[in-house]
Chain A
């Protein structure tokens, strides 16, 4: 018998392996070293993975016969995911100050989840993609119930039950697509669909719909967003921060890959997706308007942002991929930044009332200024990064002819101003009523400034990064 060695290229998996190894060390080492050291180790591991991702840029290596690819798309998303995880690690250091220690296992589980997200972004095969999806989900289920409070436990359980249900639907969809085409590879599926003897188009369409539902759940698109506000509010703030950026970004990476590479010629999912996006934009923005808790408001705002990125899934892959990546990169900086400010200002994991921000502009100028920056960027006010991101997505969708949705997105993002501007108005234009705690350490303050600078730079000289993103296009 002829033994064929499997096609394994370790270089291509360097960022992934680094994160995984760090996770393994973070699992074992807590018996011997302090919690702070683990946090430091995690940060270093993530930085090495970041460097590795940058080093692999443009090399287009692949492994396992193309099932795992370190192409620019995967690396770009990998960088966004690592940055999101780094922000969460740094923010978690402050949590200790309000008495709620994060056990050291937190970092291990976080890193396992990050490795799952990276696998999801690099997968070019439905099975690998599913493994990444599940590794990520399992990690996040645990993380969201990490606090021993009833809220957090409820959040974890709710997320787990609904999430498993969504995973089941996704697996069912994958099975149907496999049944219709006989392939797992993304490009192979597309080739099978395009071949003249393809007859199972209706099975493939049903499979695509199931996959659509599975992913809509993970990225929190209405009406599959119902878990989001409860889970985001109940989970510890740092976990919410991680979920709202990294999990969303990774899920969108998979979403874009499946629908942009494998199923773009399968009909039947485009119209439902348009409805989902329209509903998401309206429900996300209108519900955020009514929130009085900042954490909950940011949770609904992240639902709304899923709607904007959803537009990129509809657009043609050549524009959709790069604009979604750019948007999610900026979104990671601004949303995680906003959550970092929320984290250091709240006395427990329940977040804080928006009203209590009054007068923060004079009492905590740095926190208020950076939060203002992030909120303005989330609202899409030029010249900050959020505007450029929105613009790229809108123009990608418009060039594919989805005009009505773009107009709706523009109108709803005007509505979003009302809730993004209100905290700013309170912070600067009202006298102080409540005294908020301030748990920010030096590392967090540096982090906030770096995020704010990133948001500004990505807005002012988008070319510096968007030029690179051109390479993401197929």
Chain B
């Protein structure tokens, strides 16, 4: 009961927050971006956290979503809301296809295969210029302040739409975690063989989780395209800018927990923006360098995330007081 109160309070706070911010200012943009990446981390968490299948290729689905909806919009004037459905379908289908060759893979092999998959899509998006616009990227046709076309001049509506998306994806994650599928995924995380022996169809569980995760990631890719108005193959299919960032956010906050990606996103995204503002004007590469060092540091200090780190720190402090 108490946890419901905390969640409700957090949602109310998130809804009220924009009242204190300029509706088109920089802070609200950063927070909206953090919310979007929290949702992406949550979607990654379904396979990365519950089944411990470490994907380094979620940019593949993110980019498929962005390209599917934007191409539908440019060529046929299809509303991005429909594009979101189409993008999610394409993303989910791609995950379904990819699951055939990667079904039996785990650990390093799975990470490699997913990484290669997203890289190939990036190369295809760059070289198939007649359809995708090639390396120059795509611009979303400007038709602002239309809910139907998911375009607004101010950042405020995006903030609320992305917030709803985050709540929805988090809800799906929590629901999967406590459903039979969640238990199956955790069983196969511990031991695929043991899970098979007790009658879990591990292949089926993996495919369902991968498809849901990919479809959600693709839908969020559509939101990203509408939010930024412009993207190119490197920005939506980027290994570091999308795939690794999503995974890092989840790992930093705590893999397999619902709060983890949210905490991670609200640490990483503002830190990155801060680093960009403070450093990038001087030299390229410095903010990425900081990102890499952070990744190595969190892995060496506490691979289970900062929440665990804080908790153990608090426990140590308490013990220190009582003894």
Tell me whether A and B are bound partners. Answer: no
Q: Which B residues form the contact surface with A (CB < 8 A)?
A: none
Q: Which A residues form the contact surface with B (CB < 8 A)?
A: none
